Structure 1
Amino acid sequence: MAEKKDPPYFMYFPDNYRWSAAFINMLSAAPYGGSEIGELHKIGVKLKGKAGDDDEAWFNACTEVADGVSEYADRWAKEGNNTSAAHAYQRAANYYHMAERFRTPKDKKALDVYQRGIDAFHQFIKLSDYEIEIVEIPFVDGSLPGYFVHPQKKIAEKSPCVVYFDGLDVTKEIQFMRGVPDLIKRGFSVLVMDGPGTGEAIRFRNHYLRHDYEVAGSACLDYLETRKDVDPKRIGIVAISLGGYYAPRCAAMDHRWAACIAWGAQWDYYETWKKRIDAQFKLSLSVPGHHINWILGVDTLDQALETLKPFNLDGVMQKMECPFLLVHGAEDEQIPLSDAQKQYDACGSKDKTLRVYTAEEGGSQHCQRDYLTLVVADMWNWFEDRLIKNLK
C-alpha cells in the first residue's frame, strides 16, 4: 500500500478539510484583529476526538469560546476600557460567525448566534478608533447591508474606494478581518458588503444568490456616486472565493469600475457543483453540500444545478475593460488551477495579471488562507498602483 503523503500545507485537522479550512480562516485573521491563538486553542481542545461530520460539536465549541470572549468584552466596556473591549468584540464576532457557518437549515439557534456576531461587531464599531458607518444600499425589493469604512490616511478630498464583496459562505464582518485595516491605511475608503446569498442579506432578508450579480455591484456604485467623500472615477471591486465570479461579472457588465480583483478563480460554477454532487460531496468543500440549496432558495440538488447553469464566465470575461488581477493557489483543492487559466485567458482587459501562489512560498491553499498577509499585500499594492499612485 502506498504511503499516504502529507499535504504541502498546514492542516489543523489532518483528516477534515472543511474544519481545517474554517480553523485556518480564523487563525489567519489574527493580523487584522480577528483571532487570538489561545482562544483558538480552546476551540481545538473542545473538538479533539470529535468526528469530522459532527457539526453540532463545531457549533458548540466556537459558540462557547465566543461567549467567553464576549464576557471579557462586556466587562471591559463597563469599566470604560474601550480599546480592550473593542478588540474582544471583534474576535467574538469572528468566532460567532464561524460557529454558525456549517449549521443549515438556519434554525433559531443558528440565527441567534449569527445575530450575536453582528451585535458584537457593532459594539466593536462603537468602541474602536475606526470610523465605520453602518449603511443600507438600495436594492431590489429592499436593501443590502454594508459597512462604509473611512480612510485613515487622507490623500484627496474624495478618496478612492474599494467595494468588498464576500463569497459563498463568508460575511461582511469576517471580510473586514481579511485586510480592510490595511486598505484604509493606504488612503482607500472601503464598502464591505453582504451581497445576495450571503450574510444578513439571505438570513434576514431572503436575498438569494443570483447569477446577475452586477445588479448588486451596480447598486453599490450608484450609492457611492451619491457620496461627496468618494471619487466616482476611482472605485475598484474585490471579492473572495465564489466572489471570483461576482467581482469579474460586476466589472465586465458595468464599465464604471476602475479596477477589479478576483480573489480566487471561478469559471463554470454549474460544472463545479455537478462534480461535487456526482462525487456525493466526497471532495474538498468549505461548507456542507446542502448549503447550495439554501443560498439558491431551492429544495433539491437537481433544482440547484438547473439554477446554476447561467453561472458561467465564458462570454462575460471577454467584456471586461478595466485592469484585472486574478490570484489563485497552486494547491487549491476547491477550484482547479486550470479554471484560473481559462478565466485569465478569456479576460478582455489590456491590463491583466494572473498571480499563482505556490506551496514553497505559501498561499497555495484556497484563497491563500495559509498566508493571508502575503496575498493582501500583493492585492492592495496592485490597487494602490491602479487607483492611487497616479493621483500623486
Structure 2
Amino acid sequence: MGLTDIGFTDPMFDGQFLRALDTIPYGGADIGEAFMTARRIPVGDRDAWLTEWRATADRIYAQAEASVAAGHRVSAYEGYLRAVTYYRTSGIFLYKPPLDPAFVKSYQQQKSSFQKAIELSEWAIENVTIPYEDKKLEAYFAKPHGSGPYPVLTMVGGYDGTKEEGFFAGGVAALRRGYAVLLIDGPGQGGALIEQGLVFRPDWEAVVTPQLDWLLARPDVDADRIVLMGRSWGGYLAPRAATAEHRIAALVADAPQFTPGQNAKYLMPEQYREQLYTGDANELNAVLENEMAKSEGFAFTMDRGMLTHGFDTPLEYLRETKHYTLKGLAAQISCPTLLCTGENDVRGNDAQPLFDELTAPKEYFRFSNADGAGEHDEAGAGALFSQKVFDWLDDTINRP
C-alpha cells in the first residue's frame, strides 16, 4: 500500500495533505504545523479546509513579518516559505469557473509570501518576464552559488501547480546541485490563469520556445545544458514541447501521459463513452453534471478542467482534450528522456506507450510503495525523487 490515510480518511483531502508535506525537505512546510492544521478540519468540510489552512498561513506569515522587522532574516525567510504552501493549499478545492474571490485571494497571498521570501533568500532570485505571443509571462529565475554559466532546469507544472510551488517541487533540489532554475506559470496555470485569463493549449512548444530564446540570450546560461522537467500534467506538456523544441539537453517527465485526450472518454459513464464526440450536448452535459453531483472527486476534476481550459460546460472540456496527444509525435523527441511514475498513480498506465514510442535515449524509473514513493508525483518521497532524477541528469548532461 502507498501513503494513504495520513491525515484524512477522505482520499482527496489526504492527497492534498501529503502534497503539502512533500515540501518539507525544501522548506515549504513543517510537520507539526501541517498536522495540527489537519486535525482542525472535519472530513469532507471544504469550508473548514479553506479557513484552517488560511489561518495557519496567516499566523506563520505574521510571525515572519515580526522576524524581519526585528532583523531576523533567516527566520523570516523560512516563515514566508511555509506560508506559501499553506496559502496555496487553502485554495486548492476552489478550482472552478467562474473565478472565486477566495481562490484569487489564496493565490495572491501565496505570491506575496514568495515575493517576501525571495528578498531574503540565500539564492539569487530575480522576478523576470518571458515574452509569449503578444503578452508576457511572469517567472522567477534563480541562480545557485558559484560562477556561471550554469546548467538550467526549466520547470513545467501541472493542472493546479504554480511557479511558487515549483520552487519546492524541483527548484531547491536543482539549486543545491548547481543548476539555475526557471520557474514559470504557462497558460492555464497560477498567475497566467488567474491574473491574465490565459488557458491551456496542447502545443506546449509555443510556451517553451520563448523560454529557451530568453535563456539563451543570457551569458550566465550554459546553452548546451538546458533541462526541461514536467511534473503531473507537465508530464504531458513537457514531452509535447520537446517534440518540436530540440535545444533541450534532457527531458524529465514525471507522471508522463501519452494520450490524455483519448483517455478522457473514460471519465464518461461506460454507456456514454462512444457518444463523447457525437452525442447530444444537452443530454451528455446533464449526465456529466449528475455524476459531478454524486462525486466530489469527479466534480473537482471537471471543475478544474473547465476553469483551466476556459470552458463553461464539462462536455466542452472533455471534447477539447482530444487535441492533447503525443501519438505520432513522441518519436520527434531527440534528447535523452527520463520517465517517472509512482506505483499507485493511475496516470502510469499511459507511460509505457510513451516510452515504447520514444526513439531518443530513454530510461523509465518506477517508484515503489515500499520506498514510500508510490503516490502521484512520488509525493512523500521528494528527497528520493530528487536523488534519482538529478543523479540521472548529472550523468546525462555532463557526459563527454
- Residue 353 (str. 1) matches residue 353 (str. 2): no
Residue aligning to 1:297: 310
- Residue 270 (str. 1) matches residue 261 (str. 2): yes
In 2, distance between residues paired with 1:65 and 1:272?
38
Residue aligning to 2:53: 62
CA-CA distance at 1:175 after TM superposition: 1.2
In 1, distance between residues paired with 2:85 and 2:101?
19
- Residue 342 (str. 1) matches residue 335 (str. 2): no
Q: Is the 8 A contact 2:152 2:222 kept in 1?
A: yes
Residues 235 and 125 of structure 1: is their aligned pair in 2 closer, same or farther, counting only changes over 3 Å?
A: same
Question: Could you list the per-position Cα deviations for residues 149-208 of structure 1 after superposition, in whole angstroms to 9, with x for gaps in the alignment?
Answer: 102244xx4111110111111111111012322211222111011111111010001110
Residue aligning to 2:4: 10
One-letter amino acid of the structure 2 residue matched with residue 208 of structure 1 = V
Residues 34 and 10 of structure 1: is their aligned pair in 2 closer, same or farther, counting only changes over 3 Å?
A: same
User: Which of residues 88, 96, 102 in structure 1 aligns to 2:87?
Assistant: 96
Residue aligning to 2:282: none
Residue aligning to 1:160: 151
One-letter amino acid of the structure 1 residue matched with residue 105 of structure 2 = D
The 5-angstrom pairing of residues 1-392 of structure 1 reads 7-47=1-41, 50-52=42-44, 54-103=45-94, 104-105=96-97, 106-154=99-147, 157-278=148-269, 280=291, 282=295, 287-333=300-346, 335=347, 337-349=348-360, 351-388=361-398, 390=400
Q: Is the 8 A contact 1:73 1:89 kept in 2?
A: yes
For the residue of structure 1 that corresponds to 2:243, the secondary structure is helix
Residue aligning to 1:4: none
Runs ≥4 in structure 1, deviation > 4 angstroms?
A: 281-288
In 2, distance between residues paired with 1:302 and 1:289?
9
Q: Is the 8 A contact 2:344 2:374 kept in 1?
A: yes
In 2, distance between residues paired with 1:216 and 1:77?
37
For the residue of structure 2 that corresponds to 1:261, the secondary structure is strand
Q: Is the 8 A contact 2:7 2:39 kept in 1?
A: no
For the residue of structure 2 that corresponds to 1:232, the secondary structure is strand
For the residue of structure 1 that corresponds to 2:119, the secondary structure is helix
For the residue of structure 1 that corresponds to 2:223, the secondary structure is strand
For the residue of structure 1 that corresponds to 2:144, the secondary structure is coil
The percentage of aligned residue pairs carrying the same residue is: 30
CA-CA distance at 1:317 after TM superposition: 0.9
Question: Could you list the per-position Cα deviations for residues 111-136 of structure 1 after superposition, in whole angstroms to 9, with x for gaps in the alignment?
Answer: 12211110110000001212101111
CA-CA distance at 1:13 after TM superposition: 4.5
Q: Is the 8 A contact 1:18 1:285 kept in 2?
A: no
In 2, distance between residues paired with 1:286 and 1:385?
43
CA-CA distance at 1:300 after TM superposition: 0.7
One-letter amino acid of the structure 2 residue matched with residue 330 of structure 1 = E
One-letter amino acid of the structure 2 residue matched with residue 385 of structure 1 = D
For the residue of structure 2 that corresponds to 1:233, the secondary structure is strand
One-letter amino acid of the structure 2 residue matched with residue 327 of structure 1 = C
Q: Is the 8 A contact 1:269 1:311 kept in 2?
A: yes
In 2, distance between residues paired with 1:326 and 1:120?
33
In 2, distance between residues paired with 1:98 and 1:218?
30
In 1, distance between residues paired with 2:243 and 2:258?
14
In 1, distance between residues paired with 2:266 and 2:58?
38
User: How large is the RMSD of aligned CA atoms in angstroms?
Assistant: 1.8
Residues 102 and 241 of structure 1: is their aligned pair in 2 closer, same or farther, counting only changes over 3 Å?
A: same
The TM-score, its normalising length taken from structure 2, stands at 0.90
**Range that drifts further, 185-194 or 12-21:** 12-21
One-letter amino acid of the structure 2 residue matched with residue 191 of structure 1 = L
CA-CA distance at 1:288 after TM superposition: 4.4
CA-CA distance at 1:107 after TM superposition: 1.9
Q: Is the 8 A contact 2:239 2:251 kept in 1?
A: yes
In 1, distance between residues paired with 2:356 and 2:33?
43
**Range that drifts further, 130-139 or 182-191:** 182-191
How many equivalent pairs are there? Answer: 376
Residue aligning to 2:277: none
Residues 276 and 386 of structure 1: is their aligned pair in 2 closer, same or farther, counting only changes over 3 Å?
A: same
In 2, distance between residues paired with 1:77 and 1:297?
40
One-letter amino acid of the structure 2 residue matched with residue 298 of structure 1 = F
In 2, distance between residues paired with 1:262 and 1:328?
9
Q: Which has the higher helix share?
A: 2
Question: Could you list the per-position Cα deviations for residues 23-51 of structure 1 after superposition, in whole angstroms to 9, with x for gaps in the alignment?
Answer: 0011111010000012102211211xx24
In 1, distance between residues paired with 2:87 and 2:300?
16
